[in-house]
C-alpha cells in the first residue's frame, strides 16, 4: 500500500505525463483536416474536463487525513483510471491520422 507521500509523488508524475500527452494532441490538431481537427478538439476538451475533476479530487485528498484519506483514495484511483483510459483511446485513434 502506498503511503500518502508515495501516492502524491506517483500521481504528480502521472498528471505531468498526461498533461504532456494532451499538449501533444493539441499540437497534432493543427495539422489535421477540419473535420478531424474538430473531433480532436472535442476529445481534448473532454480530456481536460476529466483532468480538472481529477485535480479537484486531488486537492480534496491532499487535505484529508487518516481514514478519510484512505476512503477518498478509491475515488481518486477511479478518476485516474478514467482519464488514462480516455487519453489512451484518443491518442490511439489520432495516432493513425
What are 62-80's pLDDT values in tens digits?
888 888 888 888 888 999 9
Query: Where are the chain's structural domains?
Result: 33-97
In this prediction the pTM is: 0.81
At a CB cut-off of 8 Å and minimum separation 6, what does 89 contact? none
What is the percentage of the chain residues whose pLDDT exceeds 70?
A: 97
Amino acid at each position: 500500500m502506498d503511503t500518502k507521500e508515495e501516492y502524491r509523488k506517483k500521481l504528480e508524475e502521472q498528471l505531468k505525463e498526461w498533461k504532456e500527452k494532451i499538449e501533444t494532441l493539441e499540437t497534432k490538431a493543427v495539422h489535421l483536416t477540419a473535420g478531424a481537427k474538430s473531433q480532436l478538439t472535442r476529445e481534448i476538451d473532454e480530456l481536460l474536463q476529466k483532468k480538472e475533476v481529477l485535480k479537484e479530487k486531488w486537492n480534496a485528498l491532499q487535505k484529508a487525513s487518516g481514514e478519510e484519506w484512505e476512503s477518498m483514495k478509491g475515488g481518486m484511483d477511479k478518476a485516474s483510471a478514467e482519464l488514462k483510459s480516455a487519453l489512451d483511446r484518443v491518442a490511439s485513434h489520432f495516432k493513425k491520422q
